[in-house]
Amino acid sequence: MIEKVTMQRTLRMTHQREVVLHELRRCQMHPTADELYDLIKKKLPRISLATVYRNLEILSEAGHIGKLEVSGRQKRFDWDPTDHSHVFCVRCHRVDNLDFPGLPCPRVEPGQNQGYEISGCRIEFFGLCPACREPTTQQASQGKPAMESAPSTPESTEDQQRQVLEALANSAAPSGSKELAAATGLESKQVSNQLTALKKKGFIASPVRCKYEITDQGISLLGG
Amino acid sequence: MIEKVTMQRTLRMTHQREVVLHELRRCQMHPTADELYDLIKKKLPRISLATVYRNLEILSEAGHIGKLEVSGRQKRFDWDPTDHSHVFCVRCHRVDNLDFPGLPCPRVEPGQNQGYEISGCRIEFFGLCPACREPTTQQASQGKPAMESAPSTPESTEDQQRQVLEALANSAAPSGSKELAAATGLESKQVSNQLTALKKKGFIASPVRCKYEITDQGISLLGG
DNA sequence: CTTGACATGCGAATGATTATCAATTAACTT
DNA sequence: AAGTTAATTGATAATCATTCGCATGTCAAG
């Protein structure tokens, strides 16, 4: 009698599910759920982020799309569910396909390794994407260009601090680390580190929690 | 003059950092931060979880330990920072080393693939660990056995619902999905699904948000 | 046209991790 | 040995990505 209690039988193709699938296929990239959400909102302004997540999960479960779990960061989704490897950029975190000719997965010894019954493996390449390889044409990275984060060069502590300080000098109101990260193109963790250092030295101050503004001392530092 | 403003020079060997490193080396496994935290608390009851996280980060940054980012789940840490591959169990999420004799990383074509400058790759094997391969001696999995989660077999919807229902029958007070997940050894998502299904059928009821109790109808179902 | 299984939108919850901040402390520098 | 200073700590709040609960909506089948 418990058999009567079942669920999740059919896959209904609702409008939003259709749009999720269509937009993913259309963009031909490997967007995160929220990137796709932003895209989809243009077509379906009332859709919920949860619906996007739900449908991506269901569609990947059903094998219609692929789900990428790259190195501990945000999941990305792939319109192409067939087996293939990916590269991701260590700087801007963009993901691209990588189809190599040879065998993708190294021979899995059928015998048990460590007692494990190995059923497969995932290979994940990393490196620098074309955009991030460039020798930095300019460092001012405005906004976020749709799907790809702002490439930034690995800079010295001093450079980073100068950037943060300049960004603060150009800002009217006290800024948080996220705004500063956006303004400088640095990672917010880096920005945060530099804020701490700058504050200790008295070049910036924090009028309210998490917000910073440049001090006279900081201004004179930039000026000198 | 900005050069004066620097930071992060030395690695101070504090007591807690020493213990973090020591405990990680001692356990010879691949614990998550909070598993290690539980271990460390026995030695240093006043240590903060944040300190454990911080030190694991710093130590791995400095190359003293390894950081494992397995398929979108909790990070794990490795006392051995040298290059080697890992297998993880798709059921209990345990991670083990895997040293194969041959070349671990497939030849990275030095030419640019997709314009990427590939600097390396990560191979991640998955399968079933020895414990999870067993044909299920019994399904009652009490508590969590220190470092390894409770292995559970992929069961049918009906089995899962029966388990959940039984757990509820044995519980005095209304239970949440987490407790039930612990009691049944199922994943909390699964439990949640089954709770929804059971509730719809009237076999359980929810006296308060997120808590469930078995109904007379549910009891009679078990009895019959 | 009712039913019931699926779906949706909303908001709140969760889990893992990180940031903030005042107070300590380890490793220099006298 | 005492003073200086930046790294570190504990406690806690915040953050981010993701999921859940629930009331409501939709649709295909009886």
Q: What is the pLDDT of residues A84-114, one digit of tens each?
A: 888 888 888 889 988 665 455 666 665 667 7
**What six digits make up the tokens of A18?**
């259709």
Q: Which amino acid is at A54?
A: R
**What six digits make up the tokens of A23?**
């937009």
Greater model confidence, B171 or B61: B61
Q: What is the pLDDT of residues B37-63, one digit of tens each?
A: 999 999 999 999 999 999 999 999 889
A87 contacts B96? CB cut-off 8 A? no
**What six digits make up the tokens of A176?**
């948080």
CA–CA dist A180, A150 (Å, integer): 13
Across chain A, what does the average pLDDT equal?
A: 73
CA–CA dist A213, A207 (Å, integer): 7
Angle at which helix A177-184 crosses helix A188-200, to 10 degrees, equals 110
Greater model confidence, B4 or A207: A207
Greater model confidence, A78 or A159: A78
- A198 contacts chain B (CB < 8 A): yes
Greater model confidence, B154 or B88: B88
B115 contacts A197? CB cut-off 8 A? no
Overall average pLDDT of the B155-172 stretch: 67
CA–CA dist A25, A65 (Å, integer): 9
**pTM for this predicted structure:** 0.66
Residues of A in contact with B224 (CB under 8 A): 1
What is the number of alpha carbons within 13 Å of residue B125 lying toward its C-beta? 28
Name the residue facing B72 among A3, A5, A69 (closest C-beta).
Answer: A69
Residues of A in contact with B125 (CB under 8 A): 108, 113, 116, 118, 120-121
- B98 contacts chain A (CB < 8 A): yes
Greater model confidence, A119 or A58: A58
Q: Which of B1, B2, B100 to mutate to test the interface with A (most CBs of A within 10 A)?
A: B2
**What six digits make up the tokens of B76?**
């794990």
SS3 category, B68: strand
Residue B69: its pLDDT value, please?
Answer: 85
B117 contacts A98? CB cut-off 8 A? no
Strands A117-128 and B117-128: antiparallel
Residue B179: its pLDDT value, please?
Answer: 66
CA–CA dist B118, A128 (Å, integer): 6
| Chain C nucleotides reached by a protein CB under 7 Å | 5-21, 25-28
Residue matched to tokens 């691209």? A96
- B136 contacts chain A (CB < 8 A): no
Greater model confidence, A206 or B95: B95
- B172 contacts chain A (CB < 8 A): no
Angle at which helix A33-43 crosses helix A15-27, to 10 degrees, equals 110
Residue nearest to nucleotide D20 (CA to C1'): B192
Q: Give me the total of CB pairs closer than 8 Å, taking one residue from chain A and one from chain B.
A: 159
Sign of CA dihedral B165, B167, B172, B177: negative
Convert chain A into a string of H (helix), E (strand) and C (coil). Answer: CHHHCCCCCCCCCCHHHHHHHHHHHHHCCCCEHHHHHHHHHHHCCCCCHHHHHHHHHHHHHCCCCEEECCCCCCCEEECCCCCCEEEEECCCCCEEEECCCCCCCCCCCCCCECCEEEEEEEEEEEEECHHHHCCCCCCCCCCCCCCCCCCCCCCCHHHHHHHHHHHHHHCCCCECHHHHHHHHCCCHHHHHHHHHHHHHCCCEECCCCCCEEECHHHHHHHHC
Nearest to A127 by CA among B108, B72, B70, B71: B108
- B213 contacts chain A (CB < 8 A): no
Whole-number percent of chain B with pLDDT over 90: 26
Angle at which helix A188-200 crosses helix A157-170, to 10 degrees, equals 80
Sign of CA dihedral A5, A10, A15, A21: positive
Residue A2: its pLDDT value, please?
Answer: 34
pLDDT score of B199 more than 80: no
- A115 contacts chain B (CB < 8 A): yes
Closest chain A C-alpha to B61 CA, distance in angstroms: 14
What is the number of alpha carbons within 13 Å of residue B21 lying toward its C-beta? 16
Overall average pLDDT of the A32-54 stretch: 95
CA–CA dist B217, B201 (Å, integer): 9
Question: pLDDT band at B9, cuts 50/70/90?
Answer: low
CA–CA dist A26, A168 (Å, integer): 39
Overall average pLDDT of the A43-57 stretch: 95
A126 contacts B119? CB cut-off 8 A? yes
Minimal Cα distance from B193: which residue of A? A7
